[in-house]
Structure 1
Amino acid sequence: MLDNVVDLSRLQFAVTALYHFLFVPLTIGMVWMLVIMEAVWVMTGKQVYQDMTRFWGKLFGINFALGVTTGITMEFQFGTNWAYYSHYVGDIFGAPLAIEGLMAFFLESTMIGLFFFGWNRLSRKQHLLVTILMAIGTNLSALWILIANGWMQNPVGAEFSYQTMRMEMTDFAALLFNPDAQAKFVHTVSAGYVTGAMFVLSISSWYLLRGRNVEFARKSFRIAAAFGFASICSVIVLGDESGYTVGEAQQTKLAAIEAMWHTEPAPASFNLLAWPNETRMENDWQVSIPWVMGLIGTRSVSKQIPGIHEIMAQNRLRIQSGMLAVQALEAVRRNGKDSAALKVLEAHKQDLGFGLLLKKYTTDVATATPQMIDAAARDTIPRVAPMFWSFRLMVGMGMAMLLLFGWSFWASLKGDFQHRPRLLKLALCCLPLPWLSCELGWVVAEYGRQPWTIYGVLPTRLSVSTLSVESLYGSLAGFVGFYTVLLVVEMMLMMRFARQGPGSLGTGRYDNETAH
């Protein structure tokens, strides 16, 4: 029964997160394009750039509204579905989320209101300032959320207190400047910039293929091509940095991503393609490139990257150490003045989370058998095949977008892109790629953290609330149904206004419209 509760709780959060992240990247990416378009309008006074800001801003607003709607329920789930998690780490995890709401979301929401209703009430420079502040608020919101998520991946600046039976913050600066959080932030927002650029590039290409609003589409295409090319280059460079931080803090995840079953002599080779065999814990076949993984993962030619078998052996030792920590903690709870137990707990508390993995197999950790310890050690390794292929699909899509944006930028410099139907059709066909790659990126990041809610600290199966399977099935069905309706509504609105084009502004300057 507990397995069902854990699995359903995980599935529900995964579904809501993946739905939510259909809206987030476009919000993050579009807002800076609006800043660029409006800045050009302020500098040049050309009306077309104001029209571009207002039209693309309308599509941004639709997406933002639905992103907020889907995001609110995710925060409620920490209390409804993950109550023990919220109790155990709430003092730490809740801090960046609270700051996000107070500092970023209120700023973002206020500026969005001024953006839409301030065109005839603010001067050009004042309205541009509003758009800039809206963009800053959007990115600050992403920053604080990713600081919270980065702490789940690499729990720095905190330690367990046996008096409160919770994790407590010891260093807010360590939480704020967590290398995992910073790498995740810059990589994620760059992916959002790519998404916004692809959205504008694809729709502009559609107009050009049909010969509609050509001048408007040409200028939108140019901005999207330049912004997208810079952004996809940033994604690739910052993705390398993100991979390096993963190798430092989560060696298990890195080994699973690379299907690296055994430690290789440094520098390790990179498995370009492979067929992981989960049962035999080896690859049936693989195509490797020498040295590449060692250089990417360690930035050296002498440092080894541990393989899955070696990691499991290390984790088995940590589980045995964690058993002592759990037993000492239980003794301390019975008698807070037990100095011997306190000494043992202090010596082994860094492995407490590993000892808690045994709770899956026995309520009394002291009675765990060697077979249980082996099973718990095996649990510390996520399934390799989903990690391996998700990562490679994500990278493959990234390379495809690099080629597309490179071609588009080169053609925009030459000025003949509107006469290149193959380029325009390719840009239109590539519209889904950034969303697919973003979703795969989150699968790699979150699935690769299992079996942990807080990496190395709190196992996922101990984090859930006391819920019935029936209530979880009901809420899951409700979320899927409601979110699907929202997604359909957004797509219908986006398609409607995209088909209308800038004519939806009612200025009388564009195709298929009459002035209001």
Structure 2
Amino acid sequence: MIIDADVVTLSRLQFALTALYHFLFVPLTLGLVWMLAIMESVYVMTGREVWKRMTQFWGVLFGINFAMGVATGVTMEFQFGMNWAYYAHYVGDVFGTPLAIEGLMAFFLEGTLVGLFFMGWKRISKVKHLLVTWFLALATSLSALWILIANGWMQNPVGSAFNAETMRMEVTSFSEVVFNPVAQAKFVHTVSAGYVMGAMFVLSISAWYLLRGRNVDFAKRSMTVAASFGLAAALSVVVLGDESGYAVSENQKMKMAAIEAMWKTEPAPASFTVFGIPDVQNRTTHYALRLPWVMGLIGTRSIDKPIPGIANLVEETKGKIDNGIQAYDAMLVLREDKNNAQAKAILAAHDKDLGYALLLKHFIDDPRQATPADIQKAADSTIPNVPVLFWSFRIMVACGFYFIALFAYSFWLSSKRKLDDKRWYLKLALWSLPLPWVAAELGWIVAEYGRQPWAIEGILPTALGVSSVTSGQVWTSLGGFVLFYTALAVIDATLMVKFARKGPDGLGLWPSTSATKG
């Protein structure tokens, strides 16, 4: 049976929208909690009350955002059973474990520590409360680690194998799943991006206070922490992003070629296209401005290894589809005769390409009946949306370098104690507030949209992972999610703005004059 394209598209759209909503809150939580840990550490080491008040004020905004992140994350996990039932069945043995651990981290460990953070100021000692804050910071990162291990396996499915008897992917090495190089690269890059977001959040709101002459000492101290932490984080994002790019070039060559709009393999080392207009129909890039060698050095760490182009990868895919058809035929034989030695040998030889035969399911009922035209369509379907990836990546990178410049200048002003001398700078810092979210969402698009048409790279096409539901049912749930998530986003923004406008003085958190002098 050919897959209903509407159900696939709507299911993808629903998960994409809920993930994008969820990702509005998670990176800020990752970054802001480390700001709290730094501020409270200064309070414990110096005994200055102002640093405690700073921790409490930014902690209020952290708490609002944390609650929204949990609320939007719960429903995402239920979608695996609701919209992606076959996906859950096919890879649940592998995907389910890190997802379950992430749930334990988020709902039990983080939830407990958040409660202690807010309720423990007068109930436990300063040092114990500081330990709670640091453990909370570590717990948020550990929670992110496990979900990114799950996601990294979707990008690079190591430590697993297809079992013809159970018709499922099963774990062969849990350590390989955990230490997947793609997952590790994604983790450090993603959490660093969250740190940038937390630093920008504090920097921008503090700039708003200075523009209005409010809470000046509080704002200057907050901006000093944000500037130093943000500069380190922004530099880390660029360095670790390079490592993430190398992992992509090693394991997801089509995604890399699409990001670069590299239609044909170039002589090594490949150039990097700074600007261009990708033309999908003619498979070329107009007005291309290229930097020689740069892409080759980033993508291969060498000067003699080529980066395959889209056309070359499509030809390779056609060969993998042919191999996959043999594996598919052998799999069906084994379902009837589990002891067929010849079928076992064929499946063992070609099981890594079985997923490529499944690409044909989007076009015909039986992959074994595929014509050369069908194989060509299946191979062409592995090309993601080149213009979207090309521009998403470049805007994201431009934001990254902008963050380095802004935080470096902020750090310099802080060292000279001139943070409130230049109003144009304060306005720029304020207006920069949305940019980390723009960069983070674009990064998500590059990572996830660039993987299409695969739910699990090379293993399970997205079109085969959907549940047996109707488009009307998905429309209903999609509408409900959009309304619910939009309401949560509005509530979050309203609460954030409300408490930010009140400021530490409005919340009764600003210390007395005598305490400030200390």
The SS at the match of 1:72 is: helix
Name the structure 2 match of 1:343: 345
Cα distance between partner residues in 2 of 1:510 and 1:255: 59
Name the structure 1 match of 2:306: 304
Name the structure 2 match of 1:218: 220
Which deviations, in whole Å up to 9, do the C-alpha atoms of 1:259-301 show, x marking residues without a partner? 0011111100111111111111121331111110000100110
- 1:118 corresponds to 2:125: no
Q: Counterpart of 1:156 in structure 2: which amino acid? A: V
Deviation at 1:509, TM superposition (A): 3.9
Name the structure 1 match of 2:153: 151
CA contact (8 A) 1:213 1:510 kept: no
1:399-414 matches, cutoff 5 A? 399-414=401-416
Name the structure 1 match of 2:516: none
Cα distance between partner residues in 1 of 2:262 and 2:138: 40
Name the structure 1 match of 2:14: 12
Q: Counterpart of 2:254 in structure 1: which amino acid? A: T
Q: Call closer, same or farther: CA 1:81–1:344 in 2, change over 3 Å.
A: same
Name the structure 1 match of 2:396: 394
CA contact (8 A) 2:53 2:510 kept: no
- 1:316 corresponds to 2:318: yes
Cα distance between partner residues in 2 of 1:509 and 1:150: 46
TM-score, scaled to structure 1: 0.98
Which deviations, in whole Å up to 9, do the C-alpha atoms of 1:148-178 show, x marking residues without a partner? 0000000000000001000000001100100
The SS at the match of 1:275 is: strand
Q: Counterpart of 1:72 in structure 2: which amino acid? A: V
Cα distance between partner residues in 1 of 2:456 and 2:386: 20
Deviation at 1:508, TM superposition (A): 6.3
The SS at the match of 1:419 is: coil
The SS at the match of 1:23 is: helix
Gaps of 5+ in 1: 512-516
Cα distance between partner residues in 2 of 1:443 and 1:202: 25
After superposing on structure 2, the runs of 4+ consecutive aligned residues of structure 1 that deviate more than 4 Å are none
Q: Which moved more, 1:356-365 or 1:64-73?
A: 356-365
Q: Counterpart of 2:187 in structure 1: which amino acid? A: F
Q: 1:83 aligns with which of 58, 82, 85?
A: 85
Q: How many residues align?
A: 511
Cα distance between partner residues in 2 of 1:329 and 1:22: 43
1:230-379 matches, cutoff 5 A? 230-379=232-381
Deviation at 1:209, TM superposition (A): 0.8
Which deviations, in whole Å up to 9, do the C-alpha atoms of 1:372-396 show, x marking residues without a partner? 0000010111011100000001111
The SS at the match of 2:24 is: coil
Q: Counterpart of 2:98 in structure 1: which amino acid? A: P
Aligned-residue Cα RMSD (Å) equals 1.1
The SS at the match of 1:442 is: helix
Cα distance between partner residues in 2 of 1:216 and 1:285: 49
Deviation at 1:102, TM superposition (A): 2.7
Name the structure 2 match of 1:514: none
Cα distance between partner residues in 1 of 2:474 and 2:362: 21
Cα distance between partner residues in 1 of 2:345 and 2:69: 49
Cα distance between partner residues in 2 of 1:362 and 1:104: 42
Q: 1:95 aligns with which of 67, 79, 97?
A: 97
Q: 1:164 aligns with which of 140, 163, 166?
A: 166
Deviation at 1:504, TM superposition (A): 3.6
Which deviations, in whole Å up to 9, do the C-alpha atoms of 1:309-341 show, x marking residues without a partner? 110110110001101111111111122122221
Q: Percent identity?
A: 60
CA contact (8 A) 2:53 2:511 kept: no
Which deviations, in whole Å up to 9, do the C-alpha atoms of 1:89-140 show, x marking residues without a partner? 0011001111222345411110100000110001100100110111111110
The SS at the match of 1:283 is: strand
Q: Counterpart of 1:181 in structure 2: which amino acid? A: A
Cα distance between partner residues in 1 of 2:453 and 2:12: 11
The SS at the match of 1:396 is: helix
CA contact (8 A) 2:56 2:509 kept: no
Q: Counterpart of 2:247 in structure 1: which amino acid? A: T
Name the structure 1 match of 2:501: 499
Cα distance between partner residues in 2 of 1:279 and 1:328: 37
CA contact (8 A) 1:105 1:138 kept: no
Q: Counterpart of 1:289 in structure 2: which amino acid? A: L
Q: 1:30 aligns with which of 29, 32, 48?
A: 32
Deviation at 1:422, TM superposition (A): 1.2
Q: Counterpart of 1:208 in structure 2: which amino acid? A: L
Name the structure 2 match of 1:462: 464
CA contact (8 A) 1:29 1:189 kept: yes
The SS at the match of 1:7 is: helix
CA contact (8 A) 2:70 2:106 kept: no
Q: 2:194 aligns with which of 192, 195, 200?
A: 192
CA contact (8 A) 1:107 1:133 kept: no
Cα distance between partner residues in 2 of 1:154 and 1:323: 22
Cα distance between partner residues in 2 of 1:22 and 1:505: 25
Cα distance between partner residues in 2 of 1:216 and 1:479: 39
Q: Which moved more, 1:268-277 or 1:148-157?
A: 268-277
Deviation at 1:82, TM superposition (A): 0.3
CA contact (8 A) 2:227 2:411 kept: yes
Q: Counterpart of 1:134 in structure 2: which amino acid? A: L
Cα distance between partner residues in 1 of 2:108 and 2:44: 26
Cα distance between partner residues in 2 of 1:508 and 1:221: 16
Name the structure 2 match of 1:485: 487
Cα distance between partner residues in 2 of 1:468 and 1:367: 27
Name the structure 2 match of 1:207: 209
CA contact (8 A) 1:105 1:137 kept: no
Q: 2:136 aligns with which of 120, 134, 137?
A: 134
Gaps of 5+ in 2: 514-518
Name the structure 1 match of 2:454: 452
Deviation at 1:354, TM superposition (A): 0.3
Cα distance between partner residues in 2 of 1:20 and 1:147: 18
Cα distance between partner residues in 1 of 2:179 and 2:15: 27
Q: Counterpart of 2:465 in structure 1: which amino acid? A: S
The SS at the match of 1:418 is: coil
Determine which structure has greater relative contact order: mean sequence separation of CA pairs < 8 Å that are 6+ residues apart, divided by chain length. 2
Cα distance between partner residues in 2 of 1:80 and 1:251: 31
CA contact (8 A) 1:83 1:464 kept: yes
Cα distance between partner residues in 1 of 2:159 and 2:287: 42
The SS at the match of 2:420 is: helix
Q: Counterpart of 2:385 in structure 1: which amino acid? A: R
Cα distance between partner residues in 1 of 2:129 and 2:368: 65
Q: Which moved more, 1:22-31 or 1:331-340?
A: 331-340
